Structure 1
Amino acid sequence: MQDFLAFINQVLWGAILLYLVPATGIWFTLRCSFIQFRYFLPAVKSLKITFRTKNKNITPFQSICTSMAARVGSGNLAGVVIALAGGGPGALFWMWFAALTGMATTFAECTLAQLYKTPNKNGGFRGGPAWYMAHGLGMRWMGIAFSLFLLVAFGLVFNTVQANAIAVVMSGSFSVTPIISGSVLAIIACLVFTRGLPGIARILQWLVPLMAILWISVSLCVMFTHIEQVPGVMRRVIEYAFGWQQVTSGALGYTLSQAIASGLQRAMFSNESGMGSTPNAAAAAEAIPAHPASQGIVQMAGVMFDTFGICTATAAIVLLSDSNTDVIDRANSINMLQNALSTLSGAWGADFVAFITVLFAFTSVLANYSYAENNLSFLHLDSPRIVTLLRVIVSLTLLAGALSSIDLVWSLADIIMAFMAITNLTAILLLSPVVRDVTLDYHRQRKLGQTPTFDPDRFPDISGQLFPGVWKVKK
């Protein structure tokens, strides 16, 4: 079974997504006039928003915290270690590359999610890839397929990954058996699930910044105390990224393709650019200013912060410790990170990694569930009974994840992530003319010194595809 999954994974990532992911990012970088470079500072500034809106929508800040929670799971810890094990130090460079191009992809998918959002029965909004596939492309079947992929991925598989990470660190650091940690996680998560997306977003707006600041601060302290090693680490990253080290040493270890594939694969699992998950949070946010592109710009900052901040912090700890990632497998990746930080900073490092892993994984579980619940509404399955059933199933999945085989879990996660990405990337590429037109409209108003406001009447080709009244313009 494991060999079969590995073969499927190699086909999807080695023959399709290895080219599709960066090509899509480069396409939207050009199509949107280098949007990630032109509007990065406005993206950061736009996060200075109050924690509440006048209606029941979540704020842009809550939206990015929710999407960050989904990104900042064990993929930013164990996933980075796995990337370094599979592709060597050079994988980190390709994670950076994937983040830079992925910012444009994220802008495109989140702009589309805002554009095609629809009201929900609670007074807020719902939206995401399934909606723009159905309304923008007129392919509801495609939206149904994507929603089913997402329900399996974020409701089941990815939460299993997070639960497994929590069980591993709780067992190794605090001698808590997996059955106990899994049961406690399932109960607490189920209680939080009952708060729905707005309630989850309000919790995450506090937890996500706290845990991110803690992890990055510790990494910066470690780099400062080992500052003499930093230039050497950077040199290794660049040499392995382009195969220079292998050429000069005759090494047969990491190849250029391994570095690229590992970096792109783990980068997508981490920052989720193009996977179609982040748009679910972006669509639920109130656009400030009232233009679809504004939320796309906000979400770009999340990709940059995730990869250049948190993932780089993890990689720095591993590479500075000079740990032998050649022999690391997925089952002990978190343990390896614990050993790395302990080597650099002392015995407290292992317990700190365990604490951060629990925070990262728990918040990721909450965001993952909110994405799954969101897509029930697209399938018209959001009745109270079915939503309750989803909460029970996800909670049981968390318990199962704490007791499952990590290799099988990671293989399933990679495969389902590939299916989601292929479906979503195909959709946004087909809708790239819409993304271009909306982006140009945003650029035009900014150049005129105006606060961008979206007027559907300026877009007769797409205005009929939008839900009536969602984009109201004050005359």
Structure 2
Amino acid sequence: MFIHEIVNAINGVLWGGLLIVILVATGLWFTYHLGAIQFRQFFHMFSLMKGSGKSDKAGISSFGALCTSLSARVGTGNLAGVAVAISLGGAGAIFWMWMIALLGMATGFAESLLGQLYKVKDRNGEYRGGPAYYIQQGLNQRWLAITFSLCLFMGYGFIFSAVQANSITDALNHAYGVSTLNAGVVIIMLAGVIVIGGLRGIARFAEWMVPFMGISYVLVALVITAINIEQVPAMLYNIITSAFGLQEAGGGLLGAAIKNGIQRGLYSNEAGSGSVPHAAASATPNPNHPASQGYVQMLGVFFDTLVLCTCTAIIILLAGGGMGEKMEGIRMTQDAMTFHLGEGGTDFVAAAISLFAFTSVVANYAYGESNLHMFKLDNKIGRSCYTAGYLAMILWGAMASLPHVWAMADMALGLMTVINTIAIIWLTPTIVSVSKDYLAQRKRGQTPEYKTGNCPIQGETENGIWHESGDSRP
């Protein structure tokens, strides 16, 4: 079809090398300008989990924001996406997933700090924000803000939920022969019930579901690793040598490992794509400083890729999975789990992908909804129209073919990433200034608190969001 040719042409430009260069360069840029913050402040991001459950009527808690962002991150990228990376790029793709995650932690810190700094209040008095808001307020480039919002609506508002639904229905069809149409209708009904509660309802759902999913999946991976412990050294050797094309006849596969590792790594952890700042902006942070949300969401990148994606890679590689002649998705992960756990493995992956992907479906709605305020559509009619389109795309995704769905998702993510990385690099002086303010207060033994005027920033924040410098109000 003509539309698929257009999508493939755009992806050929974006993923033919452009985005790989942009993402690596952006990660290195912020690693340098923030003083390798992801390594230097590694343990501090964990310490911020203490007291992260506090919130107020304007914002959700920091823990809720982290779980919401993880709901969107933890999905097909962790189970199906890792399988895609291995089937197209071999074991070496996992190494490059790790590398883009380590660099992406700095990028995630930067964009989440900006999301929190330039947040606004919608008609209901609740915090909203994201790249469109910091582009408009920090850079005064409304045309670019509108362009990003449109890409986000296309991606997170519609297409990405179709991708998640595709993986759920495929997993259930493979495991139990459930009709994709019937599964799609059930997904729509369940998602509709949750998203009616808005961002707070989604955050409450995420706070319960994400820890349960993550802990369960990690425990299963640890058990499989322990059972096959004698194979682990060879598996790690295979990952490293494949990553650099050091195996026999492996030189020509180096590019495939890098390309697919980075591509699927980005799709999984979303660092640099501009999605996570929406969750970060919705929080009332503790400490009340934009940088604290940078640390919290940096932890999300770490957990998503360096923990959960690694678990899937271990499961697949210890089952003998590797590069094949065609793209493999969730069925490769299911087959690997069946190899380890017998028939119960297929059931476990079907349950895991259904939960992982469903939480993503729900969280994606919140990201799209956050941008309704940009168009003054954060009202009953605007939300109703958006919700109807969102649910319709879930049904389409439930029955679409895998390559077409993934291709459209890649295009939307790629366009968002280009715009967002340009914006956050442009806003580097603000990111550095605000992060230095946070660290300076900590060095003085104070609990960091951001106040307007404490440090120079580009553009202006919305009135009433932050206290003025010198204001002694609590």
Q: CA RMSD in A?
A: 1.4
Give the AA of the match of 1:250.
Answer: A
In the alignment, structure 1 residue 431 sits paired with structure 2 residue 427: yes
What whole-Å deviation, never above 9, does each CA across 1:42-72 have from its counterpart, x for those lacking one? 2112122364524341000000000001000
Paired with 1:207 and 1:461, the residues of 2 have a C-alpha distance of: 37
Q: 1:73 aligns with which of 64, 72, 75?
A: 75
Which residue number in structure 2 is paired with residue 351 of structure 1? 347
SS in 2 for 1:244: coil
Paired with 1:235 and 1:324, the residues of 2 have a C-alpha distance of: 14
Paired with 2:126 and 2:83, the residues of 1 have a C-alpha distance of: 39
Which residue number in structure 2 is paired with residue 156 of structure 1? 158
Paired with 1:187 and 1:390, the residues of 2 have a C-alpha distance of: 16
Q: Check whether the contact 1:49–1:59 (CA below 8 A) recurs between aligned residues.
A: no
Q: Check whether the contact 1:89–1:241 (CA below 8 A) recurs between aligned residues.
A: yes
Which residue number in structure 1 is paired with residue 271 of structure 2? 273
Percent of matched pairs sharing the same residue: 43
TM-superposed deviation, 1:461: 5.1
Which residue number in structure 1 is paired with residue 313 of structure 2? 315
What whole-Å deviation, never above 9, does each CA across 1:424-467 have from its counterpart, x for those lacking one? 000000000111111111121111111111121223554x6111
SS in 2 for 1:456: coil
In the alignment, structure 1 residue 469 sits paired with structure 2 residue 464: yes
Q: Check whether the contact 2:20–2:262 (CA below 8 A) recurs between aligned residues.
A: yes
Give the AA of the match of 2:160.
Answer: F
Which residue number in structure 2 is paired with residue 387 of structure 1? 383
Alignment of structure 1 residues 254-265 onto 2, 5 Å: 255-265=253-263
Paired with 1:406 and 1:173, the residues of 2 have a C-alpha distance of: 17
Paired with 1:425 and 1:445, the residues of 2 have a C-alpha distance of: 28
Give the AA of the match of 1:353.
Answer: V
Paired with 1:382 and 1:55, the residues of 2 have a C-alpha distance of: 18
Paired with 1:304 and 1:251, the residues of 2 have a C-alpha distance of: 29
Which residue number in structure 1 is paired with residue 249 of structure 2? 250
What whole-Å deviation, never above 9, does each CA across 1:246-277 have from its counterpart, x for those lacking one? xxx1346x522211111111011000000000
SS in 2 for 1:66: helix
SS in 1 for 2:453: helix
Paired with 2:452 and 2:255, the residues of 1 have a C-alpha distance of: 45
What whole-Å deviation, never above 9, does each CA across 1:186-234 have from its counterpart, x for those lacking one? 1111121110001110111010110111111111100000000000000
Aligned residues between the structures: 468
Give the AA of the match of 1:361.
Answer: A
Alignment of structure 1 residues 315-464 onto 2, 5 Å: 315-330=313-328, 333-459=329-455, 462=458
Alignment of structure 1 residues 177-192 onto 2, 5 Å: 177-192=179-194
Paired with 2:375 and 2:381, the residues of 1 have a C-alpha distance of: 14
SS in 1 for 2:400: coil
Structure 2 gaps, min length 5: none
Which residue number in structure 1 is paired with residue 106 of structure 2? 104
Paired with 2:40 and 2:148, the residues of 1 have a C-alpha distance of: 31
In the alignment, structure 1 residue 174 sits paired with structure 2 residue 168: no
SS in 2 for 1:84: helix
Q: Which runs of 4+ in 1 moved over 3 A?
A: 1-7, 459-462
- TM-score by length of structure 2 reads 0.96
TM-superposed deviation, 1:371: 0.3
Give the AA of the match of 1:426.
Answer: I
Give the AA of the match of 1:92.
Answer: I
Paired with 2:194 and 2:81, the residues of 1 have a C-alpha distance of: 26
Structure 1 gaps, min length 5: none
Which residue number in structure 2 is paired with residue 55 of structure 1? 57
Paired with 1:327 and 1:215, the residues of 2 have a C-alpha distance of: 28
Q: Check whether the contact 1:82–1:328 (CA below 8 A) recurs between aligned residues.
A: no
Paired with 1:44 and 1:461, the residues of 2 have a C-alpha distance of: 27
TM-superposed deviation, 1:375: 0.6
Paired with 2:52 and 2:81, the residues of 1 have a C-alpha distance of: 33
**Deviation larger for 254-263 or 292-301:** 254-263
Give the AA of the match of 2:338.
Answer: S
SS in 1 for 2:435: helix
Give the AA of the match of 1:306.
Answer: D
TM-superposed deviation, 1:3: 5.3
- TM-score by length of structure 1 reads 0.96
Q: 1:284 aligns with which of 282, 285, 289?
A: 282
